[in-house]
Amino acid sequence: MKTRKLGPLNVSGLGFGTMSFASVYGPAPDKTESIAVIRGAYDLGVTFFDTAEVYGPWTNEELVGEALKPMRDKVVIATKFGFNIDPRTGTRGPGLNSRPDHVKTAIDAMLRRLGMDTIDLLYQHRVDPDVPIEDVAGAVQELIKAGKVRQFGLSEAAAVTIRRAHAVQPVAAVQSEYSLWTREPEPEVLPLCEELGIGFVPWSPLGAGFLTGKVAPATNFDATDFRSQSPRFSPQAMAANQAVVDAVERLASAKGATAAQIALAWLLARKPFIVPIFGTRRLHRVRENLGAADISLSPDEMSAIEASLSAIDVVGDRLPAGVLELSYR
């Protein structure tokens, strides 16, 4: 697979987000099966893997560390801190916690769970309004000097915050939700990343599965599936938003591709510093998604997509209110 740059990090053009192996889309899958899918993704060319301490909490980092141990020196592993997780019990409390002392304690525990000496890319998962971003960047800079972290990243941060953090410690990558039906990074964050040489990592590039065309508007999600609480996945919103999928599937049919491949290829065509991370529990979906790297969208095709989508009003917030308010600070 062709590679792209996230700051100084060289990674596969498509990365693998492992959140789906936690209890997010219903009960977590079998560990052995999960490891087989993660290693299978590597065998298919993926060298960039994403996890976080809050996935589980903790269990996802342990899974990723075990799965990628045999090829540790051949992959880039990203993880995240920032939620208020008790470092002794793993209990998640309310709000966020990016106090420098907490961050340093959290990173030591991350390294143990991942079975690594150094974290390749360490993101602040959400910006903590109670801790100046300069203090957070300074704490990560100390971790970098100590050899515990290679590069610093931010997730769901506002452009002004990214600039302030970058002035203290260069930011290698910014991660935010970005896809055909979620366009918030375009006005400010993407231009800033281009200006400062920061890589951009879209999470949920397939709209939590909806943009694949495999989620019927009448789907009833299990209570343990986070989509059951998402405004964009209410029956009414899904019915209205099917127009987005229909537009994507028309182009997919013309290209001999799947809707998922077109959604990912669209992101790859936007900017050369964009590295989407998709998630799935199934190896055949990994293989399908990676096929997006072989699809070229012409300027006319990109314009046609834009024209189709501009006529569609996406219904429903992308996240529940209590989660959405943590973004773009």
Residues acting as catalytic residues: 55
* β-strand pairing of 76-81 with 15-17: unpaired
- Helix, strand, or coil (residue 286): helix
CA–CA gap between residue 223 and residue 239 (Å, rounded): 20
Residue appearing with tokens 């590679």? 3
What are the residue ranges of helices labelled H in the chain? 31-43, 59-68, 100-114, 133-145, 159-168, 189-196, 235-255, 259-270, 283-290, 299-310, 321-324
* Six-digit token string for 264: 């990912």
CA–CA gap between residue 235 and residue 217 (Å, rounded): 6
Please state the separation of Cα 226 from the chain's center in Å. Answer: 16
